[in-house]
């Protein structure tokens, strides 16, 4: 088996375990799995379209996620003053509290799951920075091809 395929499987495994762990950390089960991602991506008020692109989901999917999070009072919609069709999504205080709880937990959680040292995490992070920018660049390329 090639190291690449091996890596793909390992990434799948890690991803799965991370997701399960994050879900377990949400003690009151107020937020479905992937909705956490939105909380993390929402570091500043953003349009739904922009967020959908960030998260690689369809606009209609994002509407549902936003509805759920707004329902539990973690975010709120606000009309974009520049375009009355669009919303600006923003985190509420309650949302910010959960967001920082996630951020606080994430460090310990990640180390415990992966068993990596601080040094190794640094290396890992460095690699993934490169991967991320490559993916984003690729996405941009494919957008142009249409």
From the CB of 69, what's the least distance to DNA, in Å? 11
Does 100 participate in binding its own copies (rule CB under 8 A)? no
Q: Which stretch binds its own copies (CB under 8 A): 12-20, 62-70, 76-84, 90-98?
A: 12-20
Whose tokens are 């601080």? That residue is 118
Q: Of the candidates 22, 39, 48, 75, which one interacts with DNA according to CB under 7 A?
A: 48
The answer to whether residues 42 and 91 touch, using CB atoms and an 8 Å cutoff, is: yes
Of residues 20-49, those binding its own copies (CB under 8 A): 37, 40, 43
Does 86 participate in binding its own copies (rule CB under 8 A)? no
122 vs 143: CA distance, rounded Å = 32
Does 138 participate in binding its own copies (rule CB under 8 A)? yes
Distances (CA, A) of 104 to 2, 60, 72, 108, 110: 36, 31, 21, 8, 11
Give the torsion sign (CA, 26, 28, 30, 33): positive
Q: Which is nearer to its own copies, 79 or 122 (CB)?
A: 122
Q: Which stretch binds its own copies (CB under 8 A): 24-32, 45-53, 73-81, 107-115?
A: 107-115
The answer to whether residues 31 and 98 touch, using CB atoms and an 8 Å cutoff, is: yes
Does 84 participate in binding DNA (rule CB under 7 A)? yes
The closest of 76, 15, 73, 84 to 42, measured between CA atoms, is 76
Q: Of the candidates 7, 10, 15, 33, which one interacts with DNA according to CB under 7 A?
A: 33
Residues that bind DNA (CB under 7 A): 32-35, 47-50, 52, 57-68, 77, 80, 83-87
């Amino acid at each position: 088996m090639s190291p690449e395929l091996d890596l793909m499987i390992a990434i799948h495994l890690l991803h799965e375990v991370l997701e399960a762990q994050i879900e377990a950390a949400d003690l009151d089960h107020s937020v479905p799995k992937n909705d956490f991602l939105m909380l993390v991506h929402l570091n500043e008020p953003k349009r739904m379209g922009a967020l959908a692109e960030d998260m690689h989901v369809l606009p209609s999917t994002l509407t549902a996620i936003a509805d759920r999070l707004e329902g539990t009072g973690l975010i709120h919609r606000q009309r974009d003053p520049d375009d009355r069709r669009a919303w600006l999504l923003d985190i509420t205080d309650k949302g910010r509290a959960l967001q920082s709880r996630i951020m606080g937990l994430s460090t310990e959680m990640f180390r415990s799951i992966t068993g990596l040292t601080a040094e190794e995490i640094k290396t890992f992070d460095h690699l993934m920075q490169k991967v991320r920018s490559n993916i984003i660049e690729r996405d941009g390329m494919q957008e142009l091809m249409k």
